[in-house]
Amino acid sequence: MTYMHKNGFFHRDMKPENIMCNGIELVKIADFGLAREVRSRPPFTDYVSTRWYRAPEILLRSTNYNSPIDLWALGCIMAELYMLRPLFPGTSELDQIFKILTIMGTPTQEEWSEGYRLAAAMNFRFQQCQD
CATH of the domain at 25: 1.10.510.10
How distant is the alpha carbon of residue 40 from its chain centre? 18
Catalytic site positions: 13
* For residue 10, pLDDT beyond 80: yes
Let me know if residue 41 belongs to a domain. yes
Let me know if residue 114 belongs to a domain. no
More confident residue, 123 or 33: 123
pLDDT of residue 37: 86
pLDDT of residue 3: 86
Let me know if residue 21 belongs to a domain. yes
Q: For residue 65, what are the domain limits?
A: 2-92
**Of 53, 47, 48, the residue nearest 89 (C-alpha):** 53
Let me know if residue 125 belongs to a domain. no
* Torsion sign, CA atoms 26, 79, 99, 1: negative
More confident residue, 128 or 95: 95
Let me know if residue 130 belongs to a domain. no
How many domains would you assign to the chain? 1
Distant-in-sequence, close-in-space partners of 56: CB < 8 Å, separation ≥ 6: 72, 97, 100, 115
**Of 93, 98, 38, the residue nearest 69 (C-alpha):** 38
pTM, two decimals, is 0.87
Let me know if residue 45 belongs to a domain. yes
